Amino acid sequence: MLSPRSKKPYLELAQNDERFGANVSVEQNIFATNAIPHHRSNVAYSAVFPTVYRLNHSCNANATYKWHNELGRMAVHAIKPNRKGAEITVNYGFDGQAVTRELRQRRLRDSFGFQCLCSKCGAPR
């Protein structure tokens, strides 16, 4: 059960209306749109992390996230040099995969309900 303080920002999260419709569902729609899969002790979980779920996507991300069993928390790590004040972005599921722009766009639209406009997707083909 979320505290009122935790519930307010959670309910303000986006949900994929194209996938789930416009009805807000705390358990299903918001969670499914924002949850991050991770493994703990070789068991697969999904969770919404209060800081990590606010990071925007980029196919050319400058950070990544990783669950740390020893810390009991999700941590964000820079994967390339970032200038001071730069937006921290993560890749929503295509790290290390050589997939076409069209496939990335379709997966992001189907899973998260947005069209990616990052530098990699917006670059001339």
What is the band of 98 on the pLDDT scale with cuts at 50, 70, 90?
Answer: low
Mean confidence (pLDDT) of the chain: 80
The enclosing domain of 105 has a CATH number of 2.170.270
List the Cα angle 113/115/118 in 5-degree steps. Answer: 130
Number of structural domains found in the chain: 1
Whether 79 shows a pLDDT value over 70: the answer reads yes
Phi, then psi, of 61 in degrees rounded to 5: -65, 155
For 71, the domain range is: 4-122
What confidence tens digit (pLDDT) does each residue in 16-72 have?
Answer: 777 777 776 666 677 877 777 766 666 677 777 777 777 888 988 999 988 888 888
